[in-house]
């Protein structure tokens, strides 16, 4: 009767070890980094700018959220963004003027990155 109990205990231990490894591998160990600082170009009108980032600028498929931190920006123009492509490139057209600070984050599933802050520079 001792041998069957040892066999059961050994099998149970191997099963629990495998389950523990599977859970550990599924949990993230590093925080989501902020997206790369985008290139800023003139938008379709004087009230907007275009933000672009090449492949690797964000995680593939990430939701890119851009918040204009200027308190005088109209509520319906405060937030903009888009979705990164599979390679991590993204672009967005957002309401912003010279001197405005944009708070840009990326979100993958339920994880949100730290922000990258970008100030809109004077045009050429």
User: Domain span at residue 18?
Assistant: 1-29
CB crowding 78-114: b at 16 or more within 10 Å, else e: eebbbebeeebbbbbbbbbeeebebebbbbbeeebbe
Q: CA 109 → CA 17, 38, 60, 62, distances in Å?
A: 27, 22, 12, 8
Average pLDDT, the chain: 87
Residue 95 lies in a domain: yes
**Tally of CA atoms within 13 A in the half-sphere of 39 that contains its CB:** 9
44 belongs to a structural domain: yes
Q: How many CA atoms lie within 13 A of 86 on its CB side?
A: 0
Q: Is residue 5 part of a domain?
A: yes
Same domain, 24 and 46: no
Q: What is the pLDDT of residue 123?
A: 76
Q: Does residue 17 or residue 7 have the better pLDDT?
A: 7
Tell me: do 23 and 81 sit in the same domain. no
Assess if residue 124 is contained within a domain.
no
- CATH code of residue 67: 2.60.40
Q: What is the pLDDT at residue 30?
A: 83
Q: Is residue 89 one of the residues assigned to a domain? A: yes
Q: Is the distance from CB of 102 to CB of 96 less than 8 angstroms?
A: yes
Give me the mean pLDDT over the 36-63 stretch: 97
Least confident of 1-10, 30-39, 50-59, 93-102: 1-10
Looking at the fold, whether 24 and 44 belong to one and the same domain comes out as: no
Q: Which two tokens stand for residue 81?
A: 């963004």
pLDDT at 20 over 90: no
Residue 117 region, left (φ>0) first, then alpha (ψ -120 to 50), else beta?
Answer: beta
Instruction: Work out how many domains the chain is built from and give that number.
Output: 2
Which pLDDT does position 42 carry in this prediction? 95
Q: What pLDDT is recorded for position 21? A: 54
pTM beyond 0.85, yes or no: no
Residue 92 domain flag: yes
pLDDT digits (tens, 9 = 90+) for 52-82: 999 999 999 999 999 999 999 999 999 999 9
């Amino acid at each position: 009767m001792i041998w069957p109990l040892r066999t059961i205990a050994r099998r149970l231990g191997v099963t629990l070890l495998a389950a523990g490894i599977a859970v550990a591998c599924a949990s993230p160990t590093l925080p989501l980094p902020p997206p790369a600082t985008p290139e800023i170009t003139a938008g379709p009108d004087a009230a907007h700018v275009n933000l672009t980032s090449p492949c690797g600028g964000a995680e593939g498929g990430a939701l890119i959220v851009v918040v204009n931190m200027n308190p005088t920006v109209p509520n319906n123009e405060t937030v903009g963004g888009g979705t990164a492509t599979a390679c991590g490139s993204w672009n967005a057209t957002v309401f912003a003027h010279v001197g405005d600070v944009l708070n840009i984050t990326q979100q993958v599933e339920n994880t949100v990155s730290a922000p990258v802050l970008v100030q809109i520079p004077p045009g050429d």
